[in-house]
Amino acid sequence: MTAQTIILIFTLVIYLIIIFVFNKARIKYAGGKVGKVINLILITVCLLFFADYVIIFDQFVDTDVLEIIKALVRTAALSFLAYGGTKVAGS
């Protein structure tokens, strides 16, 4: 196993733990500001997960295109979190 594979497996476990825990919390705290923040975090984590694992398509797509997609998805995730956070804080 290469170092990159070990890192990807480790981050996969971390992402799954975060998604599992926040999904349980979303069920418990449905509605209100806490529910909205939990949904923001879940969507952000899912977008970051997709950005990290876009490497899977390395055999089919050029590396430069993958890096652009990765940067765009990460930017979208952080922008979504920032915009949603301001909407929740403003309400």
Q: What is the pLDDT of residues 19-40, one digit of tens each?
A: 999 999 988 888 888 989 999 9
Cα–Cα nearest to 47, from 80, 18, 25, 22: 80
The reported pTM is: 0.85
Query: What's the mean per-residue pLDDT of the chain?
Result: 91
From the CB of residue 79, how many other CB atoms can be counted at a distance below 10 Å?
A: 12
**Which structure tokens are listed for 40?**
């923001």
Output the pLDDT for position 65: 94
Query: What would the mean pLDDT of 10-27 be, rounded to a whole number?
Result: 93
